[in-house]
Amino acid sequence: MLSYTYEGSEKKYIAQTIGNFLEDMAQKYPENECLISVHQNIRYTYKQFNEEVDKIAKGLMSLGIKKDDKVAIWSTNNAEWVLTQFATAKIGAVLVTINPAYRKSELAYALKQSEVNTLILIEQFKTSNYIDIFYSVAPFARGAKPGEIHSNRFPYLKNVVCISDKKYTGMFKWHDLIDKAENVSDEDLKLREDSLDFDDVINIQYTSGTTGYPKAASLTHFNILNNGYFIGEAMKFTDKDRLCIPVPFYHCFGMVLGNLACVTHASTMVIPSDYFDPLSTLKTVEQEKCTALHGVPTMFIAELEHPDFKKFDLSSLRTGIMAGSPCPIEIMKRVNNEMHLKEITIAYGLTEASPVITQTTTDDTLEHRTETVGKPLPFIEVKIINPETGKIVPAGEQGELCCRGYNTMRYYYNNKEATHKTIDDAGWLHTGDLAIMTQDGYFKITGRSKDMIIRGGQNVYPREIEEFLYTHPKIYDVQVIGVPDRKYGEEICAWIKLKENETATEDEIKDYCKDKIAHYKIPKYIRFTDSFPMTITGKIRKVEMRKISTKELGLEDVANIKTA
């Protein structure tokens, strides 16, 4: 038996754009609750939500945004984020989702690389002042009128919209969009919608690259709408389900496994807070009687270990998804038993696959839901190959997992070379993940052929951090690896070789990183060294580095935790 499988279904593809599909759901379920933002005290039925989406869509059109123009959103979770997601889809603009943890260099790269026309941002979150960061990247905006930004550095950028009632130089207020909606007729919006095709690219998600620069995975209506639908089917979603979504919207986990899984089933999207907070999540589940809950293992652990955990009634919960990084089996059992999530599922995928490739179902045994990542979603082919020969390996043998189907991204935007390296001539998407297919057709992820680090559900590529650290004046060479971590699954460890006659401290290196790269990319562990383990051909042995670091840091017990 070869490691190849394909799941069929009596369910059909959704052959519509996201905007058209939302309108249909608003007609079928007008009074069903669509979106609840607890921390903003906002509630929309499907009818109301569709009406608000239309206002934002027309407001964006009034700014001159055309089909295929790029609209970036740089924000934590809120109702405006979800409205923007569906409004851009209605007018054929490409939503560029920017990680709220991004700082100056990362924001500048995203704005330029994806040729952003319009940026939507929040004012501030915690210690991050998004307004100040933007002005430091684009100082020319300070002297511009809203909608009249011009810059040689960012030649496509024209508009900036702040999700605020406060006026900032060069920026529109959020309510300016609503006011400007009156300048565009319903007929004009309908004409725009009718010009769209469900195979149009509608979303760009940045995924860190092994070359050191994030790559812009480009996804279509068809990609993410159908993936969201089949994800919801695996959880047996209906119009009675209410999903608590504490995972970030900028990532596919929030906007596809969350928002689109809900909308494709007339379920309710429930936002507990702008950023993950275990107490807010627990309160929201009880208050809104949520039937489903998403999260990476770190989030579920934080909820279970919260001192007030036992005070909350979570009996309304039934299902949800745990994904993003391997789940410790003991944690999965506690989630099943203590959080009433008897039908919680495990999902595996990557952004380039829209993102879910395999998922367990509510009917799978506890063993399958703790020791595997499930079977392929309907209409997705999966095979495991020998990375050296490209041949399919027998079931039970480890190799690289590849998939092919409706969920494969169109391309990496402005990066043909990377696209061709990831998607082969036969249309197979090479994940870079090592896996095993069992005799009964389930999959187990066993490692990664590439050296990506997954920290608390965040994908981190060592090369990106290495290239940044090379800019430090004292660093001669640096190699970054992942080491086991009880809370986040993996943490970042940097081996640093200093220039001759130079000295440095761990704190000095970490301080250099602050506010320049996202906080989750800053190495937790710094190891100064004179040399790196090498093969006889001169290649760095990162596997050996991981073993050494794991032992030196006393992390052997963490490395031995069993995961699915």
Q: Which amino acid is at 41?
A: N
CA dihedral sign, ordered 62, 66, 70, 73:
positive
Give me the percent of the chain exceeding a pLDDT of 90: 81
Q: How confident is the model at residue 208 (pLDDT cuts 50, 70, 90)?
A: low
pLDDT band at 449 (very low <50, low <70, confident <90, very high): low
The residue-averaged pLDDT of 347-359 equals: 97
Please report which confidence band the pLDDT of residue 387 belongs to, taking 50, 70 and 90 as the band edges: confident
Is 57 within 8 Å of 234 (Cβ atoms)? no
Nearest to 120 by CA among 66, 67, 176: 176
In this prediction, residue 563 has a pLDDT band, given cuts at 50, 70 and 90, of low
DSSP state of 39: G
Q: Indicate whether 462 belongs to any domain.
A: yes
Quick one: tokens of 123? 């004012």
Question: In this predicted structure, what is the pLDDT of residue 542?
Answer: 85
* Any domain includes 296: no
Per-residue pLDDT at 318 exceeds 70: yes
| CATH number of the domain residue 115 falls in | 3.40.50.980
Judged against a pLDDT cut of 70, whether residue 536 lies above it is answered with no
Does residue 522 fall inside a structural domain? yes
What average pLDDT score do residues 249-273 get? 98
Instruction: Name the pLDDT band for 560 (thresholds 50, 70, 90).
Output: confident
Give per-residue pLDDT as tens, 485-504.
Answer: 988 989 999 999 998 899 99
Q: Which residue has the tokens 């710094």?
A: 526
The whole domain housing 112 covers 44-197
pTM over 0.75: yes
Nearest Cα neighbor of 271 from 261, 281, 262, 263 is: 281
Band the pLDDT of 158: cuts 50, 70, 90: very high
| pLDDT at 466 > cutoff 90 | no
User: Is 305 a domain residue?
Assistant: no
- pLDDT tier at 303 (50, 70, 90 boundaries)? very high
Rounded CA gap, 147 and 13, in Å? 39
216-241 pLDDT tens trace: 999 999 999 999 999 999 999 999 99
Among 162, 197, 232, which residue terminates a domain?
197
Mean pLDDT of 527-543: 78
Report yes or no on 321 lying in a domain.
Answer: no
Question: Which one-letter DSSP state was computed for residue 8?
Answer: -
What is the average pLDDT across 129-153?
Answer: 95
Using pLDDT thresholds of 50, 70 and 90, give the confidence band for residue 210.
very low
Asked if pLDDT for residue 564 goes beyond 60, the answer is: no
Answer with the one of 141, 175, 197 that is the final residue of a domain.
197
Q: Which of 39-43, 455-459, 515-519 has the lowest mean pLDDT?
A: 455-459
The arithmetic mean of pLDDT across residues 320-328, rounded, is 83
Instruction: Evaluate whether 449 touches 432 at the Cβ level (below 8 Å).
Output: yes
Domain membership flag for residue 20: no
For residue 122, what is the DSSP state? -
pLDDT in the model for residue 535: 55
Residue in 425, 501, 516, 434 with CA at minimum distance from that of residue 467: 516
The answer as to whether 554 is a domain residue is yes
Tokens 């260099």 locate to: 105
pLDDT of the residue at 538: 57
Q: Is residue 487 part of a domain?
A: yes
Q: What does the pLDDT read at residue 330?
A: 80
Which residues lie closer than 8 Å to 452 by C-beta, 6 or more apart? 208, 210, 432, 459, 460, 461, 462
* pLDDT confidence of residue 537: 45
pLDDT at position 211 over 60: no
* Helical ranges in 206-277 per DSSP H: 221-234, 252-254, 261-263
Which pLDDT tens digit goes with each residue over 81-109? 999 999 999 999 999 999 998 999 999 99
Residue after which a domain boundary falls, among 197, 229, 252: 197
What is the number of structural domains in the chain? 2
Which domain CATH number covers 537?
Answer: 3.30.300.30
- With a cut of 90, say whether residue 126 has pLDDT above it: no
